[in-house]
């Protein structure tokens, strides 16, 4: 078949990855992040603090008891 004359297989259209997952937030399926929203919660005293973008919750300390915070969405 001649190349460049409209014959042959059609080109693949641009769109989501071939896996069909159009992930809109963060990288959650691979386990790396949960996106910009949510809160950091203390597992001991249940104190809440707003999540700061770019700083993982496990790097923050609870303002009440000083333990490591965890993430919720």
Give the contacts of 14 (CB within 8 A, at least 6 positions apart). Answer: none
| Cβ neighbour number for residue 42 with a 10 Å cutoff | 21
Instruction: List the one residue out of 6, 73, 5 whose CA is nearest residue 39.
Output: 73
Question: How far is 63 from 41, CA to CA, in rounded Å?
Answer: 11
Name which residue leads in pLDDT, 32 or 5: 5
Mean pLDDT value across residues 42-61: 92
Summarize pLDDT for 19-38 with one digit per residue, the tens. Answer: 555 545 544 455 556 666 78
């Amino acid at each position: 078949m001649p190349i460049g004359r409209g014959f042959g297989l059609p080109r693949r259209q641009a769109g989501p990855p071939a896996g069909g997952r159009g992930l809109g937030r963060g990288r959650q399926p691979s386990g790396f992040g949960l996106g910009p929203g949510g809160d950091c919660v203390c597992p001991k005293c249940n104190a809440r603090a707003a999540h700061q973008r770019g700083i993982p919750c496990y790097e923050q300390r609870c303002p009440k008891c000083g333990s490591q915070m965890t993430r919720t969405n």
